[in-house]
Amino acid sequence: MSIILVGSMLLGCGGVQYVDNADSREYSSLGIDYHDLEKAAGDNIKSLLGSGYVRSLAGLEKPKVLAISNVINDTMQHFSTQELTRKITRDMRNSGKFILTMAFAGSGGSKDTMLDSVRNARGNDEVNQYGVPEKGKIIAPELSLSGKIIQRNTKVKSKQRVDYFFLLTLTDLKSGLVVWDNEVNIIKVGKNASAW
């Protein structure tokens, strides 16, 4: 079968179209989508960067080392919580007050496995030891970002209401004290058939 014929068959079956992010609200469902993650990340980072804790970091010589801890997806939606945490930590880093470590991570982040691979090369005669980091060079995190995303469904007459709660907490790892926390709520209403 030729490429032209296969291409024609795909287009004939409805094809696929690209949608600009700004126009994609037209195709929303009751599930969590791009716009919901953007809003949850944007509202949370606005709250964090405007908080008293972050204001107290003004004039700090070194940025605070941040690790992403567990962020639990307690919804019926299947998505990686890293979609949310990476948007938030990117803005945190861009503020100049935080730096992200990839040496420690919970379910909301990802650990860079190359850190262990490089360190396991210590003493290997096949590896030039000049580039292998010596022991004691990994910097421990000072702060931990954790959270939970909760979903609550309610039937309202012939429609379905879905409430999403994006809960985030920033913890000082030395003291165990919460230095910031926030909740962003997103509420959607639609026909039961449009739920997922």
Structural domain boundaries in the chain: 29-122+138-146+167-181
Both tokens of 152, joined, read 């609550």
Other Cβ atoms within 10 Å of 31 Cβ, number: 18
Q: Find how far residue 18's CA is from the centre of its chain.
A: 24
Which residue stretches of the chain have pLDDT < 50? 1-2, 5-11
Q: Find how far residue 92's CA is from the centre of its chain.
A: 12
- The CATH code of domain 29-122+138-146+167-181 reads 3.40.50
What is the model's pLDDT at position 194? 53
What is the model's pLDDT at position 34? 86
Summarised one tens digit per residue, pLDDT across range 9-39 is 444 556 777 767 666 666 678 889 888 999 9
Other Cβ atoms within 10 Å of 95 Cβ, number: 13
Is the pTM here over 0.85, yes or no? no
What is the model's pLDDT at position 9? 47
What is the model's pLDDT at position 47? 97
- % of the chain at pLDDT higher than 70: 86
Using CB atoms within 10 Å of the CB of residue 132, give its burial: 0 to 12 exposed, 13 to 18 middle, 19+ buried.
Answer: middle
Mean pLDDT, all residues of the chain: 87
What is the model's pLDDT at position 107? 87
